[in-house]
Amino acid sequence: MFQSFETTSDPSKGPERLASLRAYLGKGNTKGMLVPRADAHQGEYVAACDDRLAWLTGFTGSAGFCAVLPGIAGVFVDGRYREQVRAQVDLDHFTPVNWPEIKLADWLREHLPEGGEIAIDPWFHTIKEIEDLRRALEGSGITLGSYEDPVGRIWSDQPAPPVGPVSVYPSELAGEDHASKRRRLAAELREAGHSAAVLTLPDSIAWLLNIRGSDISRNPVPHAFALLYDSGLVSLFIDDRKLDDAVRRHLGPEVTIKPVDQFEAQILKSNGTLRLDKTSAPEWIRELAAVNKVRIAFGKDPCALPKARKSHAEIAATTEAHLRDGAAMCNFLSWYDDTATTGITEIDLVTRLEHCRRDSNALLDISFDTIAGTGPHGAIMHYRVTHETNRPLAPGDLVVLDSGGQYQDGTTDITRTLPVGDVGAEEKAAFTRVLKGMIAIHELRWPKGLAGQHIEAVGRLPLWQAGQDFDHGLGHGVGVYLCVHEGPQRLSRLSDVPLEPGMILSNEPGYYRPGAFGIRIENLIAVEEAPALPGGDEHRQMLHFRNLTWCPIDRRLIDLDLLSPQEIDWINSYHATCRQLLSPRLAKTVQIWLDRATAPL
C-alpha cells in the first residue's frame, strides 16, 4: 500500500515542544516566532525532516502556520482545516485562528501591543510573504528578525533529508526535450535583461530538465535548486547520490551538477542581474543578495507559465491516464455498490481503491492520501482516515471519496460522493446544487484574458441561491506526472492569472455540514480554444473547458426537480461518453454495472 493508516499527529507532545521553543527563544531578545508549514523550496508538501509545524503542534494539514508568543500560540488555518485542527492540537496550549479572515499582522498587534521582535527563518518564508508582513506591521513596533532554524535546534530526532532517486522523463511524453525548453526560456531572460533566473520550486526544475524525483511521497519531484542562465546553460544544485548514469547522460554537458552547499557561492559569483520570483524564492536569497550587493530583479519563475500550458503531447498523455484511472474507478464503484451496506469501513474503501488502481500495472504512486470520509467525517474537507478514526459506513451516510493516481503519463484527481443506502432529501438537494455548479463550469465559454477569479462564482451560484457555500477554492491547477496542486492557475477568487489553452484545472464545488455530512464532485478539465458560434464576434477569441475525467456521477443522489432540461441532457451525454470510452476497458460484469450506473435520467 502507498497509503498507511497510522496516526501521524500526537497532540500530547505539543505542550512540551512548545515550552522548549519558548525557552530557546527566551535566551535572546525575541518575543516569539513564526513556524510555517514550508521548506526551502516552498512546495505544498514537505519531507518529514521539514515538517516543523506538525512536529511542534500536531497539525498535519497541507497549509497553515503557528505564531508562537509568550502567552499564546496561534495555529492559523483556512476553511479546509478548521475541523481537523481542533482534533489534532492540544487546545489548552494552541489556539486555532481563522485565517485569512484574521490577518497575522492584526493578530500580532493585538497580542504584542508593546511591540518586539518576532523570529523568522528566512529559508522558510517567501520574499513576498515577508515583504507583505513587514508592510502590514509598520508603526506597530513589531519587527522581524532572521534566525537560523530555531525549531531544528531543539528537534533532537529530526529525520535526515531525503535522498530519493531521480529518473528521466521521456521527451515523447513531455512533447519537448530539455535543451529546447532551456533555449526557449533563456531567450526570454535575455529579452528581460536578466543574466540568470533562480529556480527553487522542485516542480519547475523537474519540468525544465525533463526529470522526476522521489524526495516527497505523492509528488514526483527532486529537492534541488537551479540557476538557468541567459545562455540556456543550467547549474543544478542537488545531492549527486540521487543521480545515476542514465540521468547524467540525459542532462548532458549543458547542465552542470553541483553540491547543494555551493548554491550560495554561485549566487555570489553572479556578474549580471538575477531574477527572483517573490512568490516562491525564500527570503534568505534576498537577504544574501542585499548584504553582498548582488543585483537582483523581481519577476515570475520563467518555468511557471510554460509548465502550466501543457503541450499537445502532455494533453494526449494525461487523457490516456485519465481513461485508465476512470476504468479503475468503475471497478471500484461496482464493488462498492455490492458491499456498501455490509459493514465495510473507510479503510476498506481506501484499500480497495488503491488495489483497483494497482491492477492497471501502471500506478507509480497515489497523487495524495485518499480522502474517504463517511457521515460526519465527510465534512472534514481533507480528512485522512487512521486506525483510530476508522468509521464503518452506516445506512443513510454520504461518503466523500477524493483520490487520484500518479502515472508516468498523467496525474489524476477525482471526487465522487456516494450514498450508503437511502439518504435524506436535504442531502440530495445539496448534492444536486453542487452538481449544477460543476455542470455550469463544464459548459462555460468565456473571453480570452479572464482569470479564475472572474469565473469561479459560476460554480457557486446554485449553492448561493440556497444560502449555502463552501470554504475551499473551486479548482486548482494540476500537473502531468507532477504535483496534483500546481500553480499558477486556479479557479479561485484570489487568482488573477489568465486562463490559457493547455492549462489543466480541477472543477470541484462542494458543500459541508459540520458534524453531519459532506459533498464534493470533482472532474479535471483542460482549457481549449472554443469553436466559433454563428452570430458570435469574429474578433473575440473564446475559451472553454474539455473534460478529462470520465467516471459515473451517482444518479441516486440527484433531485431531478432541481435540474433544468439542459442539465439533464448534459448528465445523460456525459454518461453516454463514459460508457463509450470506458466499457472496452472493463470486464463484462463491470460493463453491466456501468450500463446501469449511466442509464439516462
Taking the complete model, does pTM exceed 0.75, yes or no? yes
Query: How much is the mean pLDDT over the chain?
Result: 96
Q: How confident is the model at residue 279 (pLDDT cuts 50, 70, 90)?
A: very high
Q: Given the C-alpha cell 497509503, which residue does it identify?
A: 3
- For residue 84, what pLDDT band results from cuts at 50, 70 and 90? confident
Q: What is the location of CATH 3.90.230.10 in the chain?
A: 309-593
Q: What is the DSSP string of 308-319?
A: HS--HHHHHHHH
Among candidate residues 567, 355, 574, the one with its CA nearest the CA of residue 462: 567
Q: Which residues contact 317 (CB under 8 A, 6 or more apart)?
A: 173, 409, 410, 480
As a whole number, mean pLDDT of residues 117-129 equals 97
pLDDT of the residue at 81? 86
DSSP states along 204-232 = HHHHHHTEE--SBTTB-----EEEEETTS
Question: 37-46, 94-103, 219-228 — which is least confidently predicted?
Answer: 37-46
Q: Which CATH superfamily is domain 11-154 in?
A: Creatinase/prolidase N-terminal domain (3.40.350.10)
- In this prediction, residues 251-277 reach a mean pLDDT of 96
Determine contact, residues 585/551, Cβ cutoff 8 Å.
no
- Predicted confidence band at 44 (pLDDT cuts at 50, 70, 90)? confident
Q: What percent of the chain has pLDDT over 90?
A: 93
93-99: average pLDDT: 95
Domain 309-593, CATH 3.40.190.10 — does that match? no
Q: Do the bridges between strand 196-199 and strand 274-276 make them parallel or antiparallel, or are there none, so unpaired?
A: parallel
**Strands lying side by side in the sheet with 371-374:** 371-374, 398-403, 414-419
pLDDT at residue 53, as a whole number: 95
Confidence at residue 538, expressed as pLDDT on a 0 to 100 scale: 84
What superfamily in CATH does domain 167-307 come from?
Creatinase/prolidase N-terminal domain (3.40.350.10)
Which grid cell is 225?
535548486
Counting Cα atoms < 13 Å in the Cβ hemisphere of 283 gives 21
CATH 3.40.350.10 positions along the chain are: 11-154, 167-307
Q: Which whole-number Å values give the CA distances from 551 to 87, 315, 346, in the listed order?
A: 33, 18, 20
* Residue 487, pLDDT above cutoff 80: yes
Report the pLDDT averaged over residues 429-446: 98
The whole-number pLDDT of residue 28 equals: 78
- Predicted confidence at residue 61, as pLDDT, reads 87
Q: What is the pLDDT of residues 230-240, one digit of tens each?
A: 999 999 999 99
Instruction: Band the pLDDT of 521: cuts 50, 70, 90.
Output: very high
- Model confidence pLDDT, tens digit, residues 47-76: 999 999 999 999 998 889 999 999 999 999
Q: What radius of gyration do the chain's Cα atoms show?
A: 25
Q: How far is CA 241 from CA 86, 246, 256, 260, 454, in A?
A: 41, 13, 15, 12, 46
Q: What is residue 32's three-state secondary structure?
A: strand
